[in-house]
Amino acid sequence: MRLDRTELWLLASGVVLALGVFVLPNWLTFLLTIAFAKGLVVQGVVVQMRAGLVSFGQGLYYCIGGYTVGMGGQWLGVHDAFVLLALSMVAAAVVAMVLGLLLTRYREIFFAMLTLAFSMILYGVLAKSQSLGSTDGFNVHGITALGWTPGSSGKMFVYVLTCGIAAVAAVFLHRLSKSSVGYVCEAIRENEVRVEYLGASPRWTLYSTYVLAAAVSALGGGLTGMATGHVDPEMAYWTTSGEFVFIALLGGIGHVAAPFVAASLFSTVRTYAIQFVPHSWQMILGFVLLGIIIFLPKGLWSLFKRTRKAEARV
Amino acid sequence: MSQTPILESRSLHRTFGAVVAAKDINVAIHAGEVVGVIGSNGAGKTTFINMVTGFLPPSAGEIMFNGRSILGLAPRKITRMGMARSFQVAQLFPELTVLDNMLVALSIAESPLPSFLRPLRTPERVEKAEATLKEFGVAAFRDHQVTAVPQGTRKLVDIAMALIANPKMLLLDEPTSGVAVEEKFPLMDSVMEVVRRHGVTVLFVEHDMEIVARYVSRILAFYAGEVIADGPPDQVLDDAKVRELVVGHGHGGHGRARRSS
Ligand SMILES: Nc1ncnc2c1ncn2[C@@H]1O[C@H](COP(=O)(O)OP(=O)(O)O)[C@@H](O)[C@H]1O
Ligand SMILES: [Mg+2]
């Protein structure tokens, strides 16, 4: 497997960020862990956005990822982080394979609302399940890695793990965006009838992309569960999914690193906004979103592209 | 000429509410033919193409491709069997470059289940896509976004995308519509030259009688959903009904009063 420049750059960033565990303060590594985990969920939203579909229910897979990690430890006695994350992906993929059969029949607002409906159904089910702690959820603990128990350095371990997974996922998603499927997705967004007439099945392409997006998003949920030590039905609530769409718009679909950058920015702004203007931080988010849609419809990443083009013209 | 027609329609009917867009269409086209379809706006030419390519289900009738019924098959299945089409209004992927449009078409032609990990832009694909663009004389637009290229170029790219899959038969819906008058002949010249070189059977829709007469060996004349004449160009263009209902009306609607004799 040969890596191109972007891929090397992504992996290098992952390593540098992971090494940051030795120098960065705990609050910052925690903030970044959550941001990158959310970034993974947002990657799932972005993959679908490229094909022209907006999922307003990606919280479904975020939640499935988190609960699988939690339940794996609680009921199956599985504590290994890698096995738990693999289980998360499998669980999400299986659910997506079923829901995708119905969802890929729909486009635009109908698709968006249906994804939202499914996530709210999961929210409702979990909130009513006494054995899963109802609306309180339950705690996740005792994470190990290949036989090693991080113990008190658990949070640091999850941070390093998240950096590693995010970097590898980014390389994979970068490949995907340059692959035939990646371009066919864009082609479907642009002109679905023509794709059909060229001989491909838009539905099958959207279906496989949907399943893949679910698996990637579940990784984000699993890592969040490990990092916070807690999962609850709120993960599937519609405002959570809305946040993922917000971050996706913030970053744009122009670069595979954008969701991670946008998620970090989002978490930082939110942390400070809650501290300094506790009652109006949603208003700040609202204005930011307004600004982006009006001035940077292709997301923050278009800022980089603009300057680069401007340089090139000189 | 082989015994089995490459494309055959039997008693094809299609209505849209009260509008009869296809009425008892029986057409057999043999491999190697170049067939022109004439008829005023609304005569049912596009409807015919939409039905034989699986986009529109006929209300009644049968469609055979290479001796096999293709009734009820999805357009992608029919494309895979070797029947490609272009569109009256070019159907491209506007945000992609001309080259990427071609590469998407080529990659799908190579495999109906495109790869998740293999890049779209492989050197072999780029070479083949470039060669096809060159054949159509539009290679200069390779890196332009589709929205930034002239109408005539778009029509050619639209046809090139259909042809890159090496179809057995090509249906061209008004290849020169939306193109400036002085560009029509050069455009058709390049299209027909490429198509001949590839040995593809062609059916193309065209309003302009001069253009039709220059390229085809046979003409189908449509009027109000019916094929009113079918034969060699001079015969069809001399046909009294065709002169009255199709040629005389040019681009006008078919509903105008008939000339009183
Ligand atoms: N999707 C449709 N819905 C309703 N009417 C249609 C549709 N497609 C075609 N028609 C009607 O069928 C007739 C034939 O149309 P069409 O095949 O597009 O004609 P042509 O291509 O010869 O100009 C016209 O009267 C048109 O209005
Ligand atoms: Mg037409």
d(CA B21, CA B224): 7
pLDDT, position A307: 52
> Residue A223: inside a domain, yes or no?
yes
Q: What letter represents residue A77's amino acid? A: G
B123 touches chain A (CB under 8 A): no
The tokens for A251 are: 């970053």
Place A287 in a pLDDT band, splitting at 50, 70 and 90: confident
Best A194, A208, A209, A212 member to test B by mutation, with max B CBs in 10 Å, is A194
Q: Quick one: A145 exposed, middle or buried, by C-beta within 10 A (0-12, 13-18, 19+)?
A: middle
- Tell me which of A183 and B247 has the higher pLDDT: A183
Domain span at A209: 23-238
Q: What is the mean pLDDT of residues A87-114?
A: 94
The structure tokens 């635009």 sit at: A108
Which residue has the CA at smallest separation from atom 5 of ligand 1?
B16
Q: Provide, rounded to the nearest whole percent, the portion of chain A with pLDDT above 90.
A: 62
A82 found inside a domain: yes
Helix/strand/coil for B216 = coil
Q: How many C-beta neighbours within 10 Å does residue A134 have?
A: 14
Least confident residue range of A91-95, A207-211, A261-265, A278-282: A278-282
Under 8 Å between Cβ of B98 and B142? yes
How far, in Å, CA of A48 to CA of A52, rounded?
6
Contact B103, A182 (CB under 8 A): no
Q: Does B118 touch chain A (CB under 8 A)?
A: yes
Smallest Cα distance from B249 to chain A, Å: 32
Asked if residue A27 is part of any domain, the answer here is: yes
Q: How many CB pairs under 8 A join A and B?
A: 103
Q: Are A198 and B74 inside 8 Å of each other by CB? A: no
Decide if A130 is inside a domain.
yes
Q: How far apart are the first and last CA of chain A?
A: 37
From residue B139, give the alpha-carbon distance in Å to each of A290, B142, B198.
Answer: 41, 5, 19
Identify the pLDDT of residue B254.
38
Taking CA atoms only, the protein residue closest to ligand 1 atom 24 is B42
C-alpha–C-alpha distance, residues B119 and A160, integer Å: 30
Chain A interface, mutation test: which of B78, B106, B113, most A Cβ atoms within 10 Å?
B113
Kindly determine whether residue B95 and residue A212, on different chains, have CB atoms separated by under 8 Å. no
Mean pLDDT of A63-82: 90
What confidence tens digit (pLDDT) does each residue in B23-62 have?
999 999 999 899 999 988 888 999 999 999 999 999 999 9
Whether A49 maps to a domain, the answer reads yes
- CA dist., res. A246 & res. A56, Å (int): 10
pLDDT of residue B123: 94
B19 lines ligand 1 (CB under 6 A): yes
CATH number for B1-82+173-178+205-248 (one of 1.10.3720.10, 3.40.190.10, 3.40.50.300, 3.40.309.10): it is 3.40.50.300
CA of B82 to the centre of ligand 1 (A): 25
**Cα B224 from Cα B219, distance rounded (Å):** 16
The pLDDT tens digits of the residues spanning A41-52 come to 999 999 999 999
Residue B51, ligand 1, Cβ within 6 A: no
- In this structure, the dihedral spanned by the alpha carbons of residues A51, A53, A59 and A64, taken in order and rounded to 10 degrees, is -60
Mean pLDDT of A233-256: 91
Which residue in A184, A197, A210, A212 has the most chain B C-beta atoms within 10 A of its own C-beta, making it the best mutation to test that interface? A197
Distance CA(A215)–CA(A221), nearest Å, equals 10
Is A258 contained in some domain?
no
Q: What is the pLDDT along chain B (261 residues), one digit of tens a residue?
A: 457 999 999 999 999 988 988 899 999 999 989 999 998 888 899 999 999 999 999 999 999 999 999 999 999 999 999 999 999 999 999 999 999 999 999 999 998 888 888 899 999 999 999 999 999 989 999 999 999 999 889 999 999 999 999 999 999 999 988 888 888 888 888 899 998 888 899 999 988 888 888 889 899 998 988 888 888 888 888 877 777 787 765 444 333 333 333
Please tell me the residue having the least CA distance from ligand 1 atom 2.
B16
The pLDDT, as a whole number, for residue B248 is 66
Mean pLDDT over the full length of chain A: 89
DSSP string, A244-301: HHHHHHHH-SS-TTHHHHHHHHHHHHHHHHHHHSTTSHHHHHHHHHHHHHHH-TT-TH
CA-B56 nearest atom, ligand 1: 1
Tell which one of B46, B48, B177 to mutate to probe ligand 1, the residue whose CB is within 8 A of the most ligand atoms: B46
CB contact under 8 A, A186 and B96: yes
Half-sphere CA count of B252, side-chain side, radius 13 A: 12
For residues A151-165, give the mean pLDDT. Answer: 88
Count structural domains, chain A. Answer: 1
Neighbours of A312 (CB within 10 A): 7
pLDDT value at position A313? 45
How many Cβ atoms sit within 10 Å of the Cβ of residue A107? 17
In whole angstroms, what is the distance from residue B24 CA to residue B199 CA?
30
Domain for residue A268, yes or no?
no
Q: What is the mean pLDDT of residues A165-187?
A: 95
Residue B252, pLDDT score: 40
pLDDT for A277: 79
- Ligand at minimal distance from the CA of B44 is 1
* Better pLDDT: B234 or A176: A176
pLDDT of residue B257: 37
How near does any CA of chain B get to the CA of A199, in Å? 4
pLDDT band of A29, cuts 50, 70, 90 = very high
Q: How far is the CA of B109 from the centre of ligand 1 (A)?
A: 29
Q: Per-residue pLDDT for A86 more than 50? A: yes
In angstroms, the CA B73 to CA B26 distance is 20
Judge whether B206 and B220 are in contact, CB under 8 Å.
no
Is the CB of B104 less than 8 angstroms away from the CB of A198? yes
pTM of the model: 0.89
Q: In Å, how far are A57, A117, A209, B17, B74 from A202, measured between CA atoms?
A: 21, 23, 11, 29, 12
Q: B170 alpha carbon to ligand 1 midpoint, in Å? A: 21
Q: Are A161 and A145 in contact (CB under 8 A)?
A: yes
The ranges assigned to domains in chain B are 1-82+173-178+205-248
Distance from residue B88's CA to the centre of ligand 2 (Å): 6
Least confident of A196-210, A221-235, A282-296: A282-296
Mutation test residue for ligand 1: of B12, B14, B15, B19, the one with most atoms within 8 Å of CB: B19
- What number is the ipTM of this complex? 0.90
Task: Give the chain B residue nearest A207 (alpha carbons).
Answer: B113
**Is the per-residue pLDDT at A314 higher than 70?**
no
Can you tell me which atom of ligand 1 is nearest the CA of B173? Answer: 21
Which residue on chain B is closest to A187 by alpha carbon?
Answer: B93
**Closest alpha carbon to B63 in B3, B20, B14:** B14
Helix (H, G, I), strand (E, B) or coil at B253: strand
Q: Is B200 in the pocket of ligand 1 (CB under 6 A)?
A: no
Which residue puts its alpha carbon closest to atom 3 of ligand 1? B16
